[in-house]
Chains A and B, each alone.
Chain A
Amino acid sequence: MEQNPDLPELAILSTGGTIASRIDYRTGAVTSQFDADDILRAIPRLGEIAQFRAHQIASILSENMTPSLWIDLVRSIYTEIRNGAKGVIVTHGTDTMSFTASAVSFMLETPVPVIFVGSQRSADRPSSDNVMNALCSASAALSDLGEVAVVMHASTNDDRCAVHRATKVRKMHTSRRDAFASIGMLPLGYVDYPSLEVSLGDDAVRRGGTEVALHDTIEEKVGLVTFYPGMPADVLSRFEGCRGLVIAGTGLGHVSTACIGALRDLIDGGCHVVMTSQCLHGRVCDRVYDTGRDLLALGVIEGEDMLPEVALVKLMWVLGQHDDAGEVRRLMRTNLRGEIRRCSCNGF
């Protein structure tokens, strides 16, 4: 298929997303052919916006995504940016899209938009959200944005997509088109449909603010556990040998008194424990109640207003970069990619 050489170049990296996929009815799986022709044939209007280079990184359902694939992906993104891509689009299954997006966000310093996009209705249906999401993601990838973001339907209408910061976005519904929501902040911006006009808020990092850089080491031995009433302490003991553990605690960031001993053992064994909240909204504060103070005394790190899964990915990355306990603690409490907000804004 002819591409217009006068248009800017975008890279599309596929991990098994549904943008140009077809179902193979024999196996029920998504076919693995994926090139620029497929994409342009499926969504011809893309060809009016940009030229595309397409690569397939994987062909998996997103629940089968792994940290080692994050690394393959981020290296490809890095190469595309080095080769002059004006923006990068990553197609991804929606289930774990926010994990991958935040992993890329930590591993890559990017001067151009890196846009994650998926669809909640498969591409074979006339009502699929894939076309609108893909077109909006292409427009966002050409925009003035300079960070990693997720672009998906903003409402059940086909009216606009929201641009979410990779480290502040979460899938908040099992099936709706507008399942993705920014937590603790407004979306970075919107892309109107069908005009594809992009509007970015003040929060959005702008294009060209940094040189491209790659930091692609990750510590995979990190866990995430959700505390629940009556949780046996030995659930925590199972994480022995991990270098890090993120807890999604209750409320301000608590686990039961019964768990304190097991946590002490973990921390004494060299595990970095970061506390986040299963409330998702709001900031952890372990200085209000007794249990919280006990946790701080053990050396538990308050995860501020980080989402539990973002804290997990960040801890993996920080531990991949540093061994020094003090530095790990400092970085986990420092905003690196917009994952920690200095103030908890009104309205969230």
Chain B
Amino acid sequence: MDFEKLGLKAGIEIHQQLNTKEKLFCHCPTALRDFEERTGEFFRYLRATESEMGEIDRAAKEEMKVMRRFTYYTYDTTCLVEDDEEPPAPLNPEALSIALTVAKMTGMTPVEQVHVMRKLVIDGSNTSGFQRTALVALNGSIPGGARIETVCLEEEAAQRVEGDTFSLDRLGIPLVEITTAPDMHTPEQVQEVARTIGMILRSTGCVKRGIGTIRQDINISIAKGARVEIKGVQELDLIDEVVRRETARQVNLLGIRDELHRRDASVNPEPVVVTSLFADTKSTILKKANFIAAVVLRGFDGLMGREIQPGRRLGSEMADYAKKCGVGGIFHTDELPAYGVTAGEVARLREFVGAGEGDCVVLVAASKDRALCAATQVMRRAALALEGVPEETRKMLEEGSTSYMRPLPGAARMYPETDVLPVPVSPERWGGIELPELISAKAERFVADLGLDVALARQVAYSEKARAFERAVEGGVKPTLAARTLLGTLRELSREGVDVDRLDDDAIIEVLTRAESGTLAKEAIPGVLSAMCGGSRIDDAIRQVAPAMSEEELVALIRDILSTRAEFIQERGMGALGPLMGVVMKEARGKADGKLISELLKRELQQMV
């Protein structure tokens, strides 16, 4: 695909969880919990409310096709604010400082007052029915030149447990939302910009890490297509593929539109009730349903099953729309006979609804209300196929294809949060924000000043232990030892089941400093750290794991070993050094420094030879 020629325009919104002590609008910790730890649950209904303009947002309306009952899990780390039972606390100043830092790093202009707004979200993921969001700064750019339009602070939504059940531990964790201008024209550019913004965010040292802590929403359109927002891309490496697949989807939908126009296709305005046709069907789904509606799509035959993205067809798009009414899915004649529906039944159906050869018939089976609602949704999506690409919010599926969530939200979606006072951003506050070093700059510095190789320097700079690394090196620890221990040893210990989270940076740095000064053998570092993870204090851990050998003891040990191998030494001369080193190390590993052992062994050997 020639993306430039197709007129690809893409922008991204990056949502990054902040590692603050408290949530954005209450004083609960930002801790994620296991569902089994919940202390209780409650349930609510949400409804679309009119904006002050008297309109109901189109995205909100779509979510309200059926009255949904949402269940919420509570924890001993959540409170009445998450339950929507208490007004919000003032905006968390720590979170605001981090957002301002990010804004300053990208050369943005802060707003004079931070005003919190409510953004309608009635899919159940917010107990209140809205997400609080606040614009913090405008107009910046990142290295490489991509423009940043806005930085906002938002509250994280509740985590879906399953179906309409949500867990309140995540609700209210502060998020920084960075929105770029729609300046990117290739999938690779989108990925690169996302990578750079991720790096900038991590450079603050104040963001959460791990799966789900950063999410990218991608806005994409092509010249004749439409703006589509793809939500929740969690893996950076998939971004280019998502862009490629969405571009393909829009191209293919335009192709289908052209073909429909050639066929003079249309959508029959009324669904037909066909319940009685399937009274004796072998299809369990149709048999179970007490109401079956059929929609006739003139000229759609064969197009419903046409692939528009890997694993996605026009039929899947219609099924997504229908599911908003609470039905499980749809049947259409492009895929029938199948699922227990016979060729005879299809023929009778076509005859009954007056569908010709080139037409497609879609079936929805459910209760009467739901089936009619779903049929209307199918007709709506079919009509949109005649126009081309609908503006939609979509969610990413595995591998990078997407499914329909709801229409793009309209302007009726945002209104002021009246329960939170505006927060001024004074010139003093803005001026007092210190800029952290960019991780990319840090990595370059590690190469230039410390002599680390490029790959290791990057690895250290990007890791959570970058600060500990720098402190250790400042304290005289050799960079390679510090890097190897902080990145390698800790990970290996963790893999062996050692609870390395019990170690704070100070403890690790103390171990490294002792090793560097020679009072602890480097070989004993893993053992000592492991003992400390088990609760031992550093001196006890060293005594227990690596009782240091004095030089005299070491010499005695070496002489002892050499005396029992006199024949071997006579035979090999100094060539025995290597093999003997192994024997000595077996006894002395971790109890003395390897270099010292090697020197003493060489000296003793020379004397014997």
Q: Is this pair of chains taken from one and the same complex? A: yes
State the A residues within 8 Å of B (CB).
Answer: 22-25, 28, 42, 121-128, 131-132, 155-159, 174-177, 194
Chain B residues, CB < 8 A from A124: 49, 52, 415
Digitize B36-55: 1 where CB-to-A-CB distance is under 8 Å, 0 elsewhere.
00000011111111101000
8 Å CB contacts to A: which residues of B86-134? Answer: 86-87, 118, 120, 122, 127-130
A–B complex contacts, Cβ < 8 Å, 27 sampled:
A22-B50, A22-B52, A25-B52, A42-B50, A121-B128, A125-B49, A125-B128, A125-B130, A126-B49, A126-B122, A126-B128, A126-B130, A127-B46, A127-B84, A127-B127, A127-B128, A127-B129, A128-B49, A156-B85, A157-B42, A157-B44, A158-B44, A158-B45, A174-B86, A176-B80, A177-B85, A194-B45
Chain B residues, CB < 8 A from A158: 43-45, 69
Tell me, rounded to whole Å, the shortest Cβ–Cβ distance linking A135 to chain B: 11
Residue of A nearest to B74 (CB): A156
A132 touches B45 (CB 8 A): yes
* A110, B107: Cα distance in complex, Å: 69
Assuming the A-B contacts A22-B52, A175-B80, are A126 and B46 also in contact, with contact meaning beta carbons closer than 8 angstroms in the complex?
A: yes
Chain A residues, CB < 8 A from B556: none
8 Å CB contacts to A: which residues of B360-418? Answer: 415-416, 418
* A159, B70: Cα distance in complex, Å: 12
User: B83 at interface (Cβ–Cβ under 8 A)?
Assistant: yes
A157 touches B418 (CB 8 A): no
* A28, B416: Cα distance in complex, Å: 11
Chain B residues, CB < 8 A from A155: 42
Chain A residues, CB < 8 A from B46: 126-127
Q: Which residue in A22, A131, A175 is a CB contact (below 8 Å) of B87?
A: A175
User: B67 at interface (Cβ–Cβ under 8 A)?
Assistant: yes
Tell me, rounded to whole Å, the shortest Cβ–Cβ distance linking A27 to chain B: 12
Assuming the A-B contacts A23-B418, A25-B416, A127-B129, are A156 and B49 also in contact, with contact meaning beta carbons closer than 8 angstroms in the complex?
A: no
Tell me, rounded to whole Å, the shortest Cβ–Cβ distance linking A30 to chain B: 11
User: B60 at interface (Cβ–Cβ under 8 A)?
Assistant: yes
A156 touches B48 (CB 8 A): no
B contacts with A: majority SS: loop
Chain B residues, CB < 8 A from A175: 80, 85-87
Chain A residues, CB < 8 A from B120: 126
B45 touches A23 (CB 8 A): no
Chain B residues, CB < 8 A from A122: 418
Tell me, rounded to whole Å, the shortest Cβ–Cβ distance linking B398 to chain A: 31
Tell me, rounded to whole Å, the shortest Cβ–Cβ distance linking B561 to chain A: 75
Q: How many residues on the B side are at the interface (Cβ–Cβ under 8 A)?
A: 29
Tell me, rounded to whole Å, the shortest Cβ–Cβ distance linking A35 to chain B: 15
Assuming the A-B contacts A28-B418, A157-B44, A158-B43, are A126 and B60 also in contact, with contact meaning beta carbons closer than 8 angstroms in the complex?
A: yes
Tell me, rounded to whole Å, the shortest Cβ–Cβ distance linking B516 to chain A: 57
Chain A residues, CB < 8 A from B416: 25
B52 touches A131 (CB 8 A): no
B42 touches A156 (CB 8 A): yes
* A346, B60: Cα distance in complex, Å: 49
* A95, B447: Cα distance in complex, Å: 66
Known: A123-B49, A175-B85. 8 other contacts (CB 8 A): A42-B50, A125-B130, A126-B49, A127-B46, A127-B84, A157-B42, A157-B44, A158-B45
Chain A residues, CB < 8 A from B48: 126
Chain A residues, CB < 8 A from B43: 157-159
A23 touches B86 (CB 8 A): no
* A42, B50: Cα distance in complex, Å: 8
* A125, B44: Cα distance in complex, Å: 13
Of B42, B87, B127, which is in contact with the most chain A CB atoms at under 10 Å from its CB? B42
* A123, B45: Cα distance in complex, Å: 14
Tell me, rounded to whole Å, the shortest Cβ–Cβ distance linking B419 to chain A: 9
Residue of B nearest to A132 (CB): B45
Chain A residues, CB < 8 A from B122: 126
Q: Which residue in B47, B83, B118, B128 is a CB contact (below 8 Å) of A156?
A: B83
8 Å CB contacts to A: which residues of B7-54? Answer: 42-50, 52
Of A124, A128, A132, A194, which is in contact with the most chain B CB atoms at under 10 Å from its CB? A124
Tell me, rounded to whole Å, the shortest Cβ–Cβ distance linking B602 to chain A: 77
Q: Which residue in B67, B87, B129 is a CB contact (below 8 Å) of A126?
A: B129
* A194, B45: Cα distance in complex, Å: 10
Chain A residues, CB < 8 A from B42: 155-157
Residue of A nearest to B86 (CB): A175
B47 touches A131 (CB 8 A): yes
A126 touches B47 (CB 8 A): yes
* A132, B49: Cα distance in complex, Å: 14
Chain A residues, CB < 8 A from B415: 25, 124
Tell me, rounded to whole Å, the shortest Cβ–Cβ distance linking A257 to chain B: 41
Chain B residues, CB < 8 A from A128: 49
* A124, B128: Cα distance in complex, Å: 10
Tell me, rounded to whole Å, the shortest Cβ–Cβ distance linking B410 to chain A: 16
Chain B residues, CB < 8 A from A194: 45, 67
Chain A residues, CB < 8 A from B127: 127
Of A124, A125, A126, A159, which is in contact with the most chain B CB atoms at under 10 Å from its CB? A126
* A131, B47: Cα distance in complex, Å: 9
Chain A residues, CB < 8 A from B80: 175-176
Chain B residues, CB < 8 A from A22: 50, 52
Chain A residues, CB < 8 A from B83: 156
A23 touches B52 (CB 8 A): yes
* A122, B50: Cα distance in complex, Å: 13
Residue of B nearest to A193 (CB): B45
8 Å CB contacts to A: which residues of B145-177? Answer: none
Q: Nearest 9 pairs between A and B by C-beta?
A: A126-B129, A126-B46, A127-B129, A175-B86, A176-B85, A156-B42, A126-B122, A158-B44, A157-B42
* A131, B42: Cα distance in complex, Å: 18
* A99, B60: Cα distance in complex, Å: 38
* A23, B42: Cα distance in complex, Å: 28
Chain A residues, CB < 8 A from B47: 126, 131
Residue of B nearest to A155 (CB): B42
* A127, B68: Cα distance in complex, Å: 12
Residue of A nearest to B63 (CB): A126
Tell me, rounded to whole Å, the shortest Cβ–Cβ distance linking A247 to chain B: 32
Tell me, rounded to whole Å, the shortest Cβ–Cβ distance linking A324 to chain B: 48
* A124, B418: Cα distance in complex, Å: 11
